[in-house]
Amino acid sequence: MTALKNDRFLRALLKQPVDVTPVWMMRQAGRYLPEYRASRASAGDFMSLCKNPQFACEVTLQPLDRYPLDAAILFSDILTIPDAMGQGLYFETGEGPRFRKTVSTLADIEALPIPDAQQDLGYVMDAVSTIRRELNGRVPLIGFAGSPWTLATYMVEGGSSKDFRKSKAMLYDNPQAMHLLLDKLAQSVTSYLNGQILAGAQAVQIFDSWGGSLSSAAYQEFSLAYMRKIVSGLIRENDGRKVPVIVFTKGGGLWLESIADIGADTLGLDWTCDIGEARQRVGSKVSLQGNMDPTVLYARPEAIRQEVARILASYGSGTGHVFNLGHGITPEVDPANAGAFIEAVHELSAQYHV
């Protein structure tokens, strides 16, 4: 494989020295970019973008052609796994994800297959290898999957939810059924991420977007335990390089010490915690990724710069920080403001790496 021209993202994840703090944005390929909206229109819809490796590659590279980002992230979705389990994923224009079939009983869960990464999700593996080839060593490629709990909420609710009524009722009424679902999802995610790593993903991130909706006790038992299981089953070195693992629980700020303990390399932080305090709490165990409030990108470039400076100062000197937003960039952001954000991170961080 081609040598990496810019590896500061991988180096910071592993706490190796860097020249400036690396930066990427969750959801960096997406609706705030006019070129993304044009590609989606020519593909027809969102899932056609995901299922065609050429289109997936095209939109993955769009933000890299605009900005000096330090990593690319596979263009896909966390819901490819429930789709491959036979749930029938679809998107109505302007609406969130929906499933044709939902899961509500133990029998439904017992009947769910564990997808084979190559056979059932081959289009994702093809997208990863196509993107790696096209990147030609520019920056590392991140693979990803949803956490078992986050995926389970979509499968039980049949789509997005504000209160997680059905999934939480199942958790409390029928914990045995929920555990079986989470166990099947953990197996599926492990083989899916290992497939992405073997296809060329150089780091992987687990998105636990809805872990923060749980009580502390339920989080440990129904989300964190399964992420621990996944992390312990992942391929951690490929092609002569370590493959770092990032775990991101949105709303997980109260539980950083226990998340730092599951064997991942990096914790993703949302914007509600102070990154300097987080650094003290986790010590040298893990590196940190985050954590600017994505809505700061609605403000003027000078305000964005100030907020970047504040976060860099809070983290302080040395490696172990990958700059990111505390959650995905939103569709209404002006692309010029995203550019100001990335430029500010590189410019203002050099002083912390002397």
Instruction: Give me the residues that bind ligand 1CP (CB under 6 A), please.
Output: 26-31, 40, 46, 73, 75, 77-79, 96-97, 144, 160, 207, 209, 328
Dihedral (Cα; 74, 78, 84, 89), 10-degree rounding:
-110
Q: How far apart are the first and last CA of the chain?
A: 31
- The catalytically annotated residue of 27, 66, 281, 310 is 27
Nearer to ligand 1CP among residue 115 and residue 159 (C-beta): 159
77 an active-site residue? yes
Active-site pick, 77, 83, 208, 270:
77
Half-sphere CA count of 142, side-chain side, radius 13 A: 29
DSSP output for 227-271:
HHHHHHTS--EETTEE--EEEEETT-GGGHHHHTTSS-SEEE--T
Measured from the CB of residue 97, what is the shortest distance to ligand 1CP in angstroms? 5
274 is catalytic: no
- At closest approach, how far in Å is the CB of 170 from ligand 1CP? 18
State in angstroms the smallest separation of the CB of 146 from ligand 1CP: 6
* CB closer to ligand 1CP out of 328 and 335: 328
What residues contact residue 214 under an 8 Å CB cut-off, 6+ apart? 149, 222, 223
* 8 A C-beta contact, residue 86 and residue 111: no
Whether the bond between 291 and the residue before it is cis, its omega within 30 degrees of 0, is yes
Nearer to ligand 1CP, 24 or 255 (CB): 24
C-beta closer to ligand 1CP: residue 30 or 319: 30
Q: Which is nearer to ligand 1CP, 79 or 288 (CB)?
A: 79
Could you say which of 32, 36, 67, 154 is catalytic?
A: 154
State the nearest-atom distance from the C-beta of 46 to ligand 1CP, in Å: 4
Active site residue 27: yes
Taking the complex as a whole, the smallest distance from the CB of residue 301 to ligand 1CP amounts, in Å, to 22
**Whether 98 is catalytic:** no
Q: Indicate which residues carry an active-site annotation.
A: 27, 31, 40, 77, 154
